Structure 1
Amino acid sequence: MDRAAARREDAGWLRAAWERENTRVLPLAGGRTRVSEGPDGWRLALVRPRDCPPGGTRYFLGTDGTGAAYFAYATGRLPAPPTGTARVAALGDGDCPLGDRDHGMLVHATALENWHRNHGRCPGCGDPTTVEGGGHVRRCAACGVEHHPRTDPAVLMLITDAGDRCLLGSRTRWPAHQYSVPAGYVEPGETAEAAVRREAAEEAGVAIGAVRCVETEAHPFPGSLMLGYEADAVSSDARADGSEMAAVRWFTRDALARAVRTGDVALPDRRYLARRLVERWYGGPLDPAPESAGAPWTE
């Protein structure tokens, strides 16, 4: 998908695109939409503009390689699905994984819907704001200020020591067997690398040397950008802070594989960056034995 940002300010083009027969729309209602299962897997159940109920708000998502336009449409109720079997699902629904294009569209649309739902008034003067820029801007008519969607950066860190063991922790709000990498939000005036070192020290009592950003992930819950790092621990000293982390543990590859296989350790679902960081270090998939496998979980 080409986000075609230059088209967002062209109101005439957007109006014309909405009327075209080849335009497709992703309806959203409270973070949920319809998906359909076909021979190639799950896909978004896109509709035509004329199938959308009145009273919603549309956001321009971009164009595909043929030039067809795509919109999201935030509405109080989802329109009837196109012909074929369809079900209602949300972005985090693991029962119907989407392909890259559809997942990217849903991430984009969900982030915009979340932002618009909570920013109907100007934070400066309190007057109502109006939607512009194809859904990527809200403008206050009273004070003239433009407001843009907010993205909150957060860091996740796969920490290893001199023995190439990785450090995982269980948060105080999780069941004791659920483990993941340390993580936290970047604070104002702080670089992402400084946030890695601060969060590692605060949550796990670990001093960090070199850090390397290896992967990022859009995470619209409601509007975060996850920055995945690998980090080298200066020493093997580690302790849970007792506030965010209930426990932290160093794992060799064999020990972690054994703990996951037996169900003693449950990792986040494979769709999420935290799991991918762990499996990148491990060198392959980490799966529980069938008899010990539980439901996947997310942070």
Structure 2
Amino acid sequence: MPDIPILARSAHDRIAHRRADEDWCAAAWQNPASRVLRLSRSGTAPVQSDGGALRFASPAEVEHDGIRVLLGAVGDVAYLAVLTSQDVDEPDWLGLRQLATELTDLDVGLLTTAVALQAWHQGHRHCPRCGAVTEVSKAGWSRSCPVDSSEHFPRTDPAVIVLVHDGAGRCVLARGPQWPAGRMSVLAGFVEAGESAEAAIAREIREEVGIDVCDVAYVASQPHPFPASLMLGYTARVAGDTRLVIDADEIAEAGWYTREEVRRTSDWGAESESVTGEGRPELRGLPGAMSIARQLINAWLLAED
């Protein structure tokens, strides 16, 4: 893959060793040089007037009426966040999906982390052992139960995302039932309990489109904090019969498409005219640049079979 996936980019040190250092964290929240990111309940953050950078504040400028998080540091500058329980309906507050392709590596890494932590805190306020309300600990990176003393950490759900090709210039693209006609992407699915990523690839592809694969190759990974996934990107080659048998519960339609057809296709939201015929599902839109799906597609377009 030519580039690091956008949501996998980062330019800050997470300084995990400081999370349990209460004195250091307290000093960071008092230091006017520290930079604070405010995040709304829905995951939006304030941006500069030109829209191309996050707008940070000093600790004194921020109301600390939310969960306080240590995101990390760059040199001697601490980066902090306040995860609020309020929604903000302001035009200069935007979400990760809107901002990711415009942000620097530093900003996108900080915002991706904050969004992931916000989703985890919202969904994990109670102890999974006894049901008691937990307390935020370790600078926002854990929750502790005051009843049974258990400690709980942010979870990540692994998922595989796979570009399947035939080794002869075609790849499989599919549409989920929730997407409009013409919007296509590569195949994906969650890794189940007790399952390896490679086994999940074979199972998901067989379940969704009825084919077997070989030559499975890891490409890259990318966090997908909507709410808590880690996308593990792969390529795989079809083994044997190329006929697609669709699982209608998972996939609305799927087809084999040539590199030329894929190259002529626009982004989602700016769909082109259908580039296909021959009874195959129409192909008019591909995922945007933020997604690892698009980066797998772009890498395949540049590759030689």
Q: TM-score range by the shorter chain?
A: 0.7 to 0.9
> How do 1:131-170 residues align onto structure 2 when only pairs under 5 Å count?
131-170=136-175
Distance 2:24 2:264 in 1: 57
- Alignment match, 1:208: 213
- Alignment match, 1:287: none
Distance 1:272 1:95 in 2: 10
Distance 1:55 1:48 in 2: 15
Distance 1:16 1:186 in 2: 41
Contact 2:272/2:285, CA 8 A, preserved across alignment:
no
Which of 23, 26, 49 does residue 12 from structure 1 map onto?
Answer: 23
Which of 281, 290, 296 does residue 300 from structure 2 map onto?
Answer: 281
1:217 Cα deviation after fit: 0.6
**Where in structure 2 are there 5+ consecutive unaligned residues?**
1-11, 275-283
Distance 1:19 1:25 in 2: 11
Which of 45, 48, 55 does residue 65 from structure 2 map onto?
Answer: 55
- Alignment match, 1:73: 82
Structure 1 window deviating more from structure 2 (128-137 vs 249-258): it is 249-258
1:107 Cα deviation after fit: 0.5
> How do 1:76-95 residues align onto structure 2 when only pairs under 5 Å count?
76-77=85-86, 87-93=92-98
1:96 Cα deviation after fit: 7.2
Q: What secondary structure is seen at the aligned counterpart in 2 of 1:125?
A: coil
Q: What secondary structure is seen at the aligned counterpart in 2 of 1:44?
A: coil
Contact 2:69/2:80, CA 8 A, preserved across alignment:
yes
Contact 2:52/2:99, CA 8 A, preserved across alignment:
no
Distance 1:18 1:237 in 2: 59
**Alignment identity in percent?**
39
Distance 1:96 1:77 in 2: 26
- Determine if the alignment matches structure 1 residue 255 to structure 2 residue 264: no
Structure 1 residue runs of 4+, over 6 Å off?
Answer: none
Q: What secondary structure is seen at the aligned counterpart in 2 of 1:222?
A: coil
Structure 1 window deviating more from structure 2 (183-192 vs 166-175): it is 166-175
Distance 1:72 1:94 in 2: 17
- Alignment match, 1:245: 251
- Determine if the alignment matches structure 1 residue 35 to structure 2 residue 47: yes
Contact 1:58/1:72, CA 8 A, preserved across alignment:
yes
Q: What secondary structure is seen at the aligned counterpart in 1 of 2:102?
A: coil
Matched letter for residue 5 of structure 1: A
Distance 1:96 1:214 in 2: 20
Q: Normalization by structure 2: what TM-score?
A: 0.86
Contact 1:239/1:247, CA 8 A, preserved across alignment:
no
1:258 Cα deviation after fit: 3.6
Contact 1:28/1:72, CA 8 A, preserved across alignment:
yes
Contact 1:42/1:96, CA 8 A, preserved across alignment:
no
Contact 2:32/2:60, CA 8 A, preserved across alignment:
no
> How do 1:256-271 residues align onto structure 2 when only pairs under 5 Å count?
256-260=262-266, 262-264=272-274, 265-271=284-290
* Greater relative contact order, per chain length (Cα 8 Å cut-off, separation 6+): 2
- Determine if the alignment matches structure 1 residue 172 to structure 2 residue 184: no
Which of 160, 174, 188 does residue 183 from structure 1 map onto?
Answer: 188
Residues 96, 170 of structure 1: alpha-carbon distance in 2 compared, 3 angstrom cutoff: closer
- Residue by residue, what CA displacement relative to the aligned partner does 1:249-287 show, whole Å, maximum 9, x if unpaired? 111111223454843220011111001111110129xxx
Residues 262, 138 of structure 1: alpha-carbon distance in 2 compared, 3 angstrom cutoff: closer
Residues 159, 219 of structure 1: alpha-carbon distance in 2 compared, 3 angstrom cutoff: same
1:95 Cα deviation after fit: 9.0
Give the length in aligned residue pairs: 276
Q: What secondary structure is seen at the aligned counterpart in 1 of 2:168?
A: coil
Distance 1:87 1:175 in 2: 29
Please report the RMSD computed on the Cα atoms of aligned residues, expressed in angstroms: 2.0
Distance 1:49 1:232 in 2: 52
Matched letter for residue 166 of structure 1: C
- Alignment match, 1:2: 13
Residues 259, 76 of structure 1: alpha-carbon distance in 2 compared, 3 angstrom cutoff: closer
